[in-house]
Amino acid sequence: MCKTLCYRNKFTGPRVKSDRFSERIPKEVYKRMPKHHKMPLFETEPVKLPPKLQVIPKQKFDYFLVLDIEATCDCPINIHPQEIIEFPVLKVNGKSFKTEAVFHSYVKPVIYPNLTDFCSGLTGIIQEMVDDQPEFKIVFKNFLSWLEMEEILKPGVNFAFVTCSDPDLEYFFPMQCKVSDIEVPDFMKQWINVKRSFCDNPPYVWPANLDAMMKYCELKSEGELHSGIDDAKNIAKVIKDLAERGYIFDFNGSKE
């Protein structure tokens, strides 16, 4: 096991440690490093989050739309293009952080209609779960109707999509839109990456994945990992927990 530790300190910048030495990363290298590459790779001490507050601070958004996409895939050689096969979105109130509504649909892929064994093993989605489902173009039309019904697109309503990582809206969704000949809406070109939000607040630790954030927040996971709807529910738990600790969320991911 590698015993080298790279971590960051809000005030002193990142250092590299091993059993034999401790030295600061050169200043010129530090300046060139992307902000969120200045992060811990290994933790030697338990991560301690700020205590919970009596009142959740006012957020910048009326609603958070928590999204977790699952797509076709294979290993060791992946398929291209990858198509969305599960599209869940939770409407989370920006004051109470309660889930008020859920949009959830499985999606029938069209370019590679047969799911691989690897994909089914990873996501838990089997062929029978997508065969009779609508193609993404119809699913997305239904999703837009759902947004209208939930008054998310009403003038004056501030909302933000929330993901656990950038690829959902930076890669998978735009790729699917290209396959389905759909224009990417402007309101889906920026989002909140909850891992980045987690890292931007005390104790300034980069969580490796959703499971790590659940562990740091002392939350119990719901459902199965890589189930889109279950992951979305767990992300919603995390943002509520962080808000209760004083976190104020803002956009931190975007695609031109």
pLDDT digits (tens, 9 = 90+) for 61-72: 999 999 999 999
Phi and psi angles of residue 175, each rounded to the nearest 5 degrees, phi first: -65, -45
pLDDT at 201: 87
Catalytic residues: 70, 226
**What would the mean pLDDT of 102-125 be, rounded to a whole number?**
97
Q: Is the pLDDT of residue 41 over 60?
A: no
Q: Is the pLDDT of residue 133 over 50?
A: yes
Q: Is the pLDDT of residue 110 over 80?
A: yes
Name the nearest CA neighbour of 163 among 209, 203, 223, 204.
209
Name the nearest CA neighbour of 231 among 100, 119, 104, 137.
104
* pTM of the predicted model as reported, rounded to 2 decimal places: 0.83
Contact of 135 with 106, CB cutoff 8 Å: no
Residue-wise pLDDT tens digits, 192-213:
999 999 999 888 989 999 999 9
Q: Is the pLDDT of residue 38 over 80?
A: no
Q: Is the pLDDT of residue 136 over 70?
A: yes
Which residue is listed with tokens 């979305």?
232
pLDDT at 47: 85
Helices then strands, counting H and E runs in the chain, come out as 9, 10
Contact of 16 with 25, CB cutoff 8 Å: yes
Mean of all residue pLDDT scores within the chain: 87
Contact of 126 with 118, CB cutoff 8 Å: no
Contact of 153 with 188, CB cutoff 8 Å: no
Which residue is listed with tokens 């440690």?
17
